[in-house]
Amino acid sequence: MLDYLLSFLILTGAIFTFVGSLGLVRLKDFYTRLHGPTKATTLGVGCLLIASAIYFSNREAGMSLHEVLITLFLFITAPVSAHMLAKAGLHLGLPSLAKTPEEKIPEKDNETTKTLTDKKTAVDQ
């Protein structure tokens, strides 16, 4: 039964990693390219590391914590790095191919709405 679980985790990890890498190569936009390594590849590497932790924990006497710590580090750092890359891309004004519909900000006479509107027009320029 353990062999089936390990085989499933390894195949799932390989498929996710391949799809994430393929998305990094095939997608045309900087912002959409961020999804490949941060979502699919993170899940793929996470599955592979969990399979490795289960295998070596079963083979040896104790729990294998190296893979678990690497998985936790990967799941914490990948979204943060993707967020920082996206903010840097927005700051540099990199073009986006897929435009999303703009949100309508309700017109109110308070300072917060004016600040949001000013920031939005600054990003659009």
Going residue by residue through the chain, which has 125 residues, state the pLDDT in tens, using 9 for 90 and above. 899 999 999 999 999 999 988 888 888 888 888 877 788 888 899 899 999 988 888 887 777 788 878 888 988 998 888 889 889 988 888 887 766 555 454 555 555 545 545 555 555 55
Domain around 72:
2-124
pTM: 0.67
The count of structural domains within the chain is 1
Q: What span, in angstroms and rounded, lies between the C-alpha atoms of 75 and 110?
A: 39
Tokens of 101: 């519909």
Report pLDDT for 114.
53
Residue whose entry in the numeric block shows the structure tokens 């690497």: 70
Task: Please state at what angle helix 41-59 crosses helix 2-26, rounded to 10 degrees.
Answer: 160
> What is the CATH number for 90?
1.10.287
